[in-house]
Structure 1
Amino acid sequence: MRPSSDIADSDPLRGDETIFGPELGEFPNADQRAQQLEDGEAMKTGTTTVGIRAGDSVVLATDMRASLGNMVSSKDVQKVEEVHPTGALTIAGAVSAAQNLIQTLQVETNLYEARRGNEMSMQALSTLTGNLLRSGAFYIVQPILGGVDDTGPHVYSIDPAGGMSEEEYTVTGSGSQYALGVLEQEYDDELSVDEAKTLAARSIKSAVERDLASGNGLNMCVVTADGVEITQHKDFGDFIDEE
C-alpha cells in the first residue's frame, strides 16, 4: 500500500516518481501530453454539447467544429456516438482521448451483454464512464451520457475527473454558458421529442454565435428504447426558424 505522504504529493496526470508507481492512470510522459494540450498542439473539439430528457426519450446535440490551437482543424466532426444499443455519448475535450473512451465503452458494453445475456443499465454505464475518467487515462474529456433502459430515460453529466450527476438537462464545452442560458429559460419537463430537438438546436445556435470554438453545423441524436438515431445538419433551419 502506498504511504499517505506519497499519495498526497502524487498527481495521476503527471506521473509518479515513487518506488510504488506507476499506478493505473499514471503516464511517464504526462508532462509532455499536458503541455501539448496547453500549447494547442493536440486536436480539441472545443465544443458545445447539450443533453435533454424528453418524455421517454433523450435528445443529445452538439456542434461540428474541431480546433487545433487557433485554427479550425475540421468542420465535420461527429461529436456524439452510440456506445450502447440504447445509449450515446457526446464528447468535449481532446479528440484522441474521446475517441479512445468511446471505443472502450463500446467494447465494455458488448462484453457485458455477451457475458450476462442482458444489456448494461444506464446507471452501470454511467458508473463505468466515471471510473474510466477517474483513472486519468482519458485526459481530458467531459462527456454527456444519454440513454434509455428499463427504468426510463437518463441524462448524466460527467466531469473530466469522473464526477457524475443525473440531470433533466445539461451542457458541456466551451460554449456551455451560452447554451445553458437558453435551456434555463425554455426547458419544460413535458417537452416532446420534437420540442426538445428544437430547444437543443436553439441552445447550440446561441453558443455558435458567441463561442469561437463552436460552429459548422449540428449533430442531433435521439435515443429511445428502440435504439440510437444520429443525424448531421449544416443548417439550423432544419429545426428552427432562422428568420
Structure 2
Amino acid sequence: MSDNGERTRKEGSMVRDLLCQKFEYDESVDILLGGQDDLGLHIYSLKANGGSRRVIYAAKGKESDEAVAYLAEHWKESLTLDEAEQLARESLKLEDNDFVEICIINRAEQTEEAASDEDN
C-alpha cells in the first residue's frame, strides 16, 4: 500500500473518531460517513459508541425506507464522488427531514513547497 493510501486511511479514522466523540452521548444522531481514496468510494455507518461498519449505501432515521429503495435503484459501483453526493442529496428529498447536515471535506492539493517544508 502506498504511503498516500495509508495516510488517507489514518485521516478517515481520525474523522470517524472525532464524529463518534462529538455525538457520544446523543443516541438520536445517525451518522453516515463517506469518502474517496485511491481504492475508490467508501461509506460507513457510525454508532455513537464508536462502532462502525462499511456499507454500499444506507439511509438512517425514521421513514428511511424510500431513500434506501431509491439508493438501491440508482446506485452503481462506477459512481464518481460528485455523482455519489448528488445521489445522496436526491435521496434526502424523498422524505420529510427534521434536520440533515452534509459536510464535505476536500483535501487540499499539496504543493511542492509545502512538501519540502514537511521534509525539513
Matched positions, count: 101
Name the structure 2 match of 1:168: 56
- Tell me the percent identity: 27
Pick aligned residue for 2:45 from 139, 157, 178: 157
Match of 1:139 in 2: 26
Task: Choose the corresponding residue for 1:188, options 76, 80, 86.
Answer: 76
* Pair member with larger Rg: 1
DSSP 3-state at the match of 1:191: coil
Distance 1:163 1:182, change over 3 A: same
Could you say what secondary structure the match of 1:166 adopts? strand
Larger fraction in strand: 1
Which letter maps to 2:45? S
Residue 179 of structure 1: how far off its partner (Å): 0.8
**For each residue in 1:163-222, what CA deviation from the matched residue of structure 2 results, as whole angstroms up to 9, or x when unmatched?**
2112232222223222111001110011234433442233112123xxxxx169x86655
Rounded Cα–Cα distance in structure 1 between residues aligned with 2:80 and 2:37: 18
Taking only aligned residues, the RMSD between alpha carbons, in angstroms, comes to 3.6
Q: Comparing both structures, which one devotes a greater share of its residues to helix? A: 2
SS state of the match for residue 179, structure 1? helix
> Which 4+ runs in 1 deviate beyond 4 A?
127-130, 148-153, 218-224
Letter in 1 for 2:52: M
Taking a change above 3 Å as real, the CA distance of residues 224 and 170 of structure 1, as seen in their structure-2 partners, is: farther
Q: Is the 8 A contact 1:156 1:166 kept in 2?
A: yes
Match of 1:123 in 2: 13
**Higher normalized contact order (CA 8 Å, seq sep 6+, divided by chain length):** 1
Opposite residue 204 of structure 1, the aligned amino acid is: L
* Equivalent pair of 1:145/1:158 in contact (CA under 8 Å): yes
